Amino acid sequence: MKLFVIVVTYRGKQWYDRCFTSLRESTIPLQTIVVDNASNDGSVEYIKEHYPEIRLIESKENLGFGKGNNLGLRYAYEHGCDYVFLLNQDAWLDDADALNKLVSLSQRHPEYGILSPMHLSPDKQSLNMMLEYGGSVYTKRILSDLYCGTVKDIYQTNYVNAAAWLLPRKTLSELGGFDPLIFHYGEDDDYLNRARYHGIKVGISLDSRIIHDHQSGEYKAWSSELARKSAVDDLELLLDLNVPFNYHSLRMTWMRRYLKGLFKGNANERELAVYKMKYLRKMRHSIENSRKANMIKQPNWIQ
């Protein structure tokens, strides 16, 4: 059984010892693949010196989370992986048997194509993960079973962030990697949308745990970062195979917002609307091509 762990790194030396040592101590045999996104903080040299067992792939540019992972996924797929575990650089296994538990769970429930452990905060006093937006029937079921002492070994969900995903080879054969149109933020949303479209279940294990030292940033009322993130939200919507392709409707929405900003003298609103309309026009054909490719069960983006 071949298990590959993929970690995309970018200037994250403060986490490497906890992340890579936890993988080194895992009870299940694994091969760690690190894809470094052109870090300039000595990450590559540090990994080579302290973790020589790691298969290191050095990118000459920052590819972002999705395309960076795709390099690792391609390597694992071409080298006959049975499972791939995606792990954030700011996360580590909470116990040495965590991956063994996840793989065993996957073997008992092969209908689940994506499995996630529970994500704990560094002090282990709270959860540090996103499940369903706004609270869903899945999340409520977990809370109910915890309270009543009837916890099951797996729970289905529509969403769990990609800080720690176990993917069987079958999932890679049917979905492939992350859509390269999304540079950063939203890759996991899009991947899960594709999984739902193809009838692939997503599950959470309450028995397997990682620590995730995630610190979420705050967006200012107006900034280029907000504009880019907002564009990613539209990109996710247009790439979602579960809804009709609504390019013209979305452009009209931003045209109305432009006119609203014009009438109210809101320069920020006008600037954002212009940015969005130009972005959507530029990306239209690429989005259509991605939708066509992702409608087919095949190892997209890793071959």
Question: Has residue 43 got a pLDDT over 70?
Answer: yes
Cβ atoms 180, 287 nearer than 8 A: no
- Residue 128 in this model has a pLDDT that exceeds 90: no
pLDDT at 12 over 80: yes
Task: Provide the pLDDT confidence category of residue 223 given band limits of 50, 70 and 90.
Answer: very low
pLDDT of residue 131: 67
Rounded CA gap, 303 and 88, in Å? 23
Banded pLDDT at 221 (limits 50, 70, 90): very low
Mean pLDDT of 160-186: 94
269 vs 113: CA distance, rounded Å: 41
Confidence of residue 218 (pLDDT cuts 50, 70, 90): very low
pLDDT computed for residue 281 by the predictor: 94
Q: Which residues face 181 on adjacent strands? A: none
Res 219 pLDDT > 50 = no
Helix (H, G, I), strand (E, B) or coil at 93: strand
Q: What is the pLDDT of residue 126?
A: 87
Share of the chain above pLDDT 70, in %: 91
Q: What would the two tokens of residue 34 be?
A: 């690190």
Distance CA 34, CA 32 (A): 7
Between 118-122, 223-227, 228-232, 254-258, the lowest mean confidence (pLDDT) is in: 223-227
Mean pLDDT, residues 11-38 taken together? 97
Whether residue 224 is predicted with pLDDT greater than 60 in this model: the reply is: no
* Domains detected in the chain: 3-212 (3.90.550.10), 224-294 (no CATH)
Helices 247-263 and 224-239 pack at an angle, to 10 degrees, of: 150
Average pLDDT, the chain: 91
The H-assigned helical ranges of the chain are 13-24, 43-50, 64-78, 98-108, 137-148, 169-175, 187-197, 224-239, 247-263, 267-294
Crossing angle of helices 224-239 and 187-197, in 10° steps, is: 10
pLDDT at 96 > cutoff 90: yes
Instruction: Write out the two tokens for 207.
Output: 């028995």
User: Which pLDDT score, from 0 to 100, does residue 140 have?
Assistant: 78
Asked if the model's pLDDT at residue 222 lies above 80, the reply is no
Q: How many Cβ atoms from other residues are within 10 Å of residue 143's Cβ?
A: 10
- Burial call 264-294: b when 16+ CB within 10 Å, e when fewer: eeeeebbebbbbbbebbeebeeebeebbeeb
Mean pLDDT of 184-201: 94
Q: Which is it for the CA torsion 238, 244, 247, 252, positive or negative?
A: negative
Contacts of residue 162, Cβ cutoff 8 Å, sequence gap at least 6: 65, 86, 88, 187, 188, 191
- Residue 146: which pLDDT band, with cuts at 50, 70 and 90? confident
5: which 2 tokens? 């762990």
Beta-bridged to residue 36, according to DSSP, are 9, 58
Q: Is the pLDDT confidence value at 275 over 50?
A: yes
pLDDT at 100: 98
Is the Cβ–Cβ distance between 223 and 270 less than 8 Å? Answer: no
pLDDT for res 185: 79
Per-residue DSSP letters for 97-154? THHHHHHHHHHH-TTEEEEEEEEE-TTSSSB----STT--HHHHHHHHHHHHT---S-
Q: How confident is the model at residue 176 (pLDDT cuts 50, 70, 90)?
A: very high
